[in-house]
Amino acid sequence: MRTVILYLLMVCLVQATAGFVFEDLPSVKELIREYGYDQDLTLEELKEFSEKKKSLKLANKVEEYAEYIPNSRPIIAILTQPRTESPPYNSYIMAAYAKFVFQAGGRVIPLHWDNSLENITDTLKSVNGVIITGGDQVIQDPISLIFSDYTNRVKFVLDQAKEINDEGSYFPVWAICQGFEQLSIIEGPEYGRLSHATAKNIPRKLEFVRDENGEIIRGRIYKEMSDDLTKALEAKEIAFHNNEFRLDPFAYKYDVGLKAYNVLAYSRDRDGRPMVASIEHKDYPIYSNQWHPEKNSFVWKETIPVPHSKLALQLTQYMSDFFVTECRKNTHKYGTPEEERSAIIENHPVEVTDGSAADIYLFY
């Protein structure tokens, strides 16, 4: 913490102005300017400076801002998925999701989907955000629509995340592909029904939602994305999809639960049918994509057309920077460095597979 510089503080504050608890804070830089001092400085220097100036106003701000100093050691939980093919291991995480976090300076712990609810609740209090991954689980009975045990766990994690936010910690969630589908049926029980999609293993263009002036509504997810990259996403097929289901755009117009989200982008399946592609919650830092932000840089199976162009790699990097930066906004951590070390994903074996999952971490 000691070495956190004001620059990072500013980055955090600028990025945070999109919403949530950060909204009304004035810029620290403006305050510092007011006092005739304008350079990067640590929180300690900022404190010293306010004392030297005997400024109560600045001292109060220091206190206030201390809460929002970006956490420089983000640890993100990734929910494991059931797997029966590799006994004695019974759950797994595709390594691409972990690498996605690593490349933005975060670390990863596995959140065992079948652990007790108490264990999951407690674990979430030690980490800075959570990822619900893609996969090929049965998420719901197709006739009765009853959720699978796995989807019920995703619901529990989502509820816990909202509760942590309600209690005052900024706690982000990122749900990808199957995670997006689970989020849709959990949050939109009325209209969040999934339809069939022909979008297995295919990169697609994105169609961003625009305002009445034709400007892209960037929301928080796409706020910092360069114009080059947003243009490329619309013009080229670099958003990699691997889904057999889709959520029809109309669901977001009518479902009371899904109205809590803004849709930022759509895509189309092989038959041209529209799919909701990117959403973010209006009040919580909950983000979700039908497509895979993580595969472009990390999945290399020859027969699958994962894009590896320079722009495609920039997309993966941008998305991981976005999410890990979100996770820097709370100060959850493990009680001791030993607990932290024994929790991280590197304690577990990796298996190189021949499938589209590429390499996977395995767990008991």
Ligand X SMILES: *[C@@H]1O[C@H](CO)[C@@H](O)[C@H](O)[C@H]1NC(C)=O
Residue 181's φ and ψ, nearest 5 degrees, are -65, -40
Known catalytic residue: 177?
Answer: yes
Catalytic residue among 112, 241, 281, 292: 292
From the candidates 177, 241, 281, 327, which is the catalytic residue? 177
- Residue 2 structure tokens: 């000691």
* Least distance CB 195 / ligand X (angstroms): 36
CB 120 within 8 A of CB 158: no
Provide the b/e sequence for 252-277 (b: ≥16 CB within 10 Å). beebebbebbbbbbbbbbeeebbbbb
- Output the CA–CA distances (angstroms, integers) from residue 100 to 31, 123, 291, 294, in the order listed: 36, 21, 14, 6
**In the complex, which residue's CB is closest to ligand X?**
122
115 or 198: whose CB is closer to ligand X?
Answer: 115
C-beta of 27 vs 119, nearer to ligand X:
119
Nearest to 76 by CA among 333, 342, 364, 361: 333
Q: Which is nearer to ligand X, 309 or 342 (CB)?
A: 342
Choices 7-15, 114-122, 141-149, 259-267; region in contact with ligand X by CB under 6 A: 114-122
- Smallest distance from ligand X to CB 147, Å: 23
**In the numeric block, which tokens belong to residue 153?**
């766990």
Which secondary structure element, helix H or strand E, spans residue 307, and what is its range? none
Annotated active-site residue 12? The verdict is: no
Q: How far apart are CA 60 and CA 70, in angstroms?
A: 18
Question: Residues 124, 76: contact at Cβ < 8 Å?
Answer: no
Nearer to ligand X (CB atom), residue 93 or residue 299: 93
Whether 258 and 192 have beta carbons less than 8 Å apart is answered as yes
112 lines the binding site for ligand X (CB under 6 A): yes
Minimal distance, residue 345 CB to ligand X, in Å: 12
Minimum CB distance to ligand X, residue 76 (Å):
16
Q: Number of residues in contact with ligand X, rule: CB under 6 A?
A: 5
Query: Which tokens sit at 351?
Result: 């298996």
Is there binding between residue 85 and ligand X (CB under 6 A)? Answer: no
Measured in residues, the chain has a length of: 364
Interface segment toward ligand X; rule CB under 6 A; list 111-119, 150-158, 233-241, 351-359: 111-119
Q: Least distance (Å) from ligand X to the CB of residue 123?
A: 5
| Single residue of 17, 115, 148, 201 touching ligand X by CB under 6 A | 115
Q: How far is the CB of 33 from ligand X (least distance, A)?
A: 45
152 binds ligand X, rule: CB under 6 A:
no
Binding characters for ligand X, 273-312, by CB under 6 A (x = yes): ----------------------------------------
Taking CB under 6 A as the criterion, the residue among 91, 123, 151, 325 binding ligand X is: 123
- The least distance separating ligand X from the CB of residue 73, rounded to whole angstroms, comes to 18
Strand ranges of the sheet holding 274-281, from the earlier edge strand across to the other edge: 107-111, 75-79, 129-132, 173-176, 286-289, 274-281, 261-268, 207-208
Based on CB atoms, which residue is closest to ligand X, 113 or 170? 113
Assess 195 for contact with ligand X (CB under 6 A).
Answer: no
Backbone φ, ψ for residue 154 (5° rounding): -60, -40
* Closest residue by Cα to residue 358 from 290, 291, 302, 293: 302
Q: Binding to ligand X by residue 122, rule CB under 6 A?
A: yes
Contacts of residue 157, defined as CB under 8 A and 6 or more positions apart, other chains included, come to 79, 111, 120, 124, 130, 132, 173
Q: Does 119 bind ligand X (CB under 6 A)?
A: yes
Rule CB under 6 A: say whether 347 interacts with ligand X. no
Write out the two tokens for 47. 């404190």
Under the rule (CB under 6 A), what is the footprint of ligand X? 112, 115, 119, 122-123
Catalytic (active-site) positions: 177, 292
